[in-house]
A and B are shown apart, each in its own frame.
Chain A
Amino acid sequence: MPTFVYMTRCDGCGQCVDICPSDIMHIDRTYRRAYNIEPNFCWECYSCVKACPQQAIDVRGYADFAPLGHKVRVLRDEKMGTVSWKIRYRDGRVKEFTFPIRTTPWDSIRAPSAYEPPDASALTSAMLAHEPSALNVESLPMLPPFKTK
Chain B
Amino acid sequence: MRLFAPRKTKLVDADVLIIGGGFGGCGATYESRFWGRNLKIVLVETANIERSGAVAHGLSAINCYMGMQWNENRPEDHVRYARNDLMGLVREDLGFDIARHVDSTVHKFEEWGLPIMKNPKTGRYLREGRWQIMIHGESYKPIIAEAARKSASEVYNRIMVTHLLMDKTRPNRVAGAVGFSVRDGNFYVFRAKAVIVAAGGASHIYKPRSIGEGLGRTWYAPWSSASAYGLLIPIGVKMTQMENKIVLARFKDGYGPVGAWFLLLKARATNAYGEDYEAARFDEIKALVGAYAEKQPLPTCLRNHAMIEEIKAGKGPIDMQTQEVLDTREKEEIGWEDFLDMTVGQAVVWASQNIDPKERPSELITSEPYVMGSHATCSGAWASGPEDCAPADYQWGYNRMMSVEGLFGAGDAIGGRAHKFSSGSFTEGRIAGKSAVRYVVDMAKHPPQVDEGQIEELRDTVFRPLET
Query: With A43-B56, A135-B103 in contact, do A109 and B115 touch (Cβ < 8 Å)?
Result: no
Does the CB pair A40–B352 fall under 8 Å? no
State A85–B345 Cα separation when bound (angstroms).
Answer: 13
Say how far A51's CB is from chain B's closest CB, in angstroms.
Answer: 8
Interface residues of B in 9-43 (CB under 8 A from A): 30-31, 33-35, 37
Which listed residue, B30, B96, B210, B344, touches A46 by the CB 8 Å rule?
A: B344
Size of the chain A interface, CB-CB below 8 angstroms = 81
Q: Which residues of A contact B112 (CB under 8 A)?
A: 104, 108-109
Q: Which residues of B contact A74 (CB under 8 A)?
A: 340, 344
**A66 proximal to B (CB < 8 A):** yes
Q: Which residues of B contact A42 (CB under 8 A)?
A: 216-217, 222
Q: Which residues of A contact B184 (CB under 8 A)?
A: none
Does the CB pair B223–A129 fall under 8 Å? no
Does the CB pair B104–A128 fall under 8 Å? yes
Interface residues of B in 173-222 (CB under 8 A from A): 182, 210-218, 221-222
Q: Which residues of B contact A88 (CB under 8 A)?
A: 351
Say how far B35's CB is from chain A's closest CB, in angstroms.
Answer: 6
Does the CB pair B390–A21 fall under 8 Å? no
Q: Which of A5-13, A27-35, A117-125 contacts B (4 or more CB under 8 A)?
A: A117-125
Does the CB pair B347–A104 fall under 8 Å? no
**B404 proximal to A (CB < 8 A):** no
Say how far B233's CB is from chain A's closest CB, in angstroms.
Answer: 24
Does the CB pair A95–B336 fall under 8 Å? yes
**B328 proximal to A (CB < 8 A):** no
Query: With A109-B112, A111-B151 in contact, do A143 and B352 touch (Cβ < 8 Å)?
Result: no
Say how far B179's CB is from chain A's closest CB, in angstroms.
Answer: 14
Which listed residue, A66, A85, A123, A135, touches B441 by the CB 8 Å rule?
A: A123
> Please, what's the 1-or-0 string for A67-102, where 1 marks a CB less than 8 Å from any CB in chain B?
111111010100000010101111101010101111
Say how far B64's CB is from chain A's closest CB, in angstroms.
Answer: 14
Q: Which residues of A contact B350 (CB under 8 A)?
A: 87, 89
> Please, what's the 1-or-0 string for A48-78, where 1 marks a CB less than 8 Å from any CB in chain B?
0000000000011111111111111010100
Q: Which residues of A contact B114 (CB under 8 A)?
A: 102-103
Does the CB pair B151–A123 fall under 8 Å? no
Does the CB pair A66–B348 fall under 8 Å? yes
> Please, what's the 1-or-0 string for B395-433, where 1 marks a CB less than 8 Å from any CB in chain A?
000000000000000000000000000000001001100
Does the CB pair B100–A115 fall under 8 Å? no
Does the CB pair B392–A109 fall under 8 Å? no
B112, B214, B356, B437 pick with most chain A CB within 10 angstroms: B214
Does the CB pair B387–A126 fall under 8 Å? yes
**A1 proximal to B (CB < 8 A):** yes
| Closest A residue to B218 using CB positions | A43
Does the CB pair B337–A99 fall under 8 Å? yes
Q: Which of B44-52, B238-246, B310-318, B453-461 contacts A (4 or more CB under 8 A)?
A: B44-52
Q: Which residues of A contact B211 (CB under 8 A)?
A: 64
Does the CB pair B103–A47 fall under 8 Å? no
Does the CB pair B217–A62 fall under 8 Å? yes
Query: With A21-B221, A90-B352, A129-B34 in contact, do A44 and B104 touch (Cβ < 8 Å)?
Result: no
Which listed residue, A67, A93, A101, A145, touches B353 by the CB 8 Å rule?
A: A67
Q: Which residues of A contact B336 (CB under 8 A)?
A: 85, 87, 95, 97
Q: List 29 A-B contacts (CB under 8 A).
A: A1-B345, A23-B47, A42-B222, A60-B348, A62-B217, A64-B213, A64-B253, A65-B349, A66-B353, A70-B351, A70-B352, A89-B350, A89-B356, A97-B336, A97-B337, A97-B340, A104-B112, A111-B150, A113-B34, A113-B37, A124-B438, A128-B434, A134-B104, A137-B69, A141-B100, A142-B100, A142-B389, A146-B388, A146-B390
Question: Which residues on B are within 8 Å of A, measured CB to CB?
Answer: 30-31, 33-35, 37, 46-48, 50-53, 56-57, 68-69, 74-75, 96, 100-101, 103-104, 107-108, 112-115, 136, 138-139, 143, 146-147, 150-151, 158, 182, 210-218, 221-223, 253, 333, 336-337, 340-341, 344-345, 347-354, 356, 386-392, 427, 430-431, 434, 437-438, 441
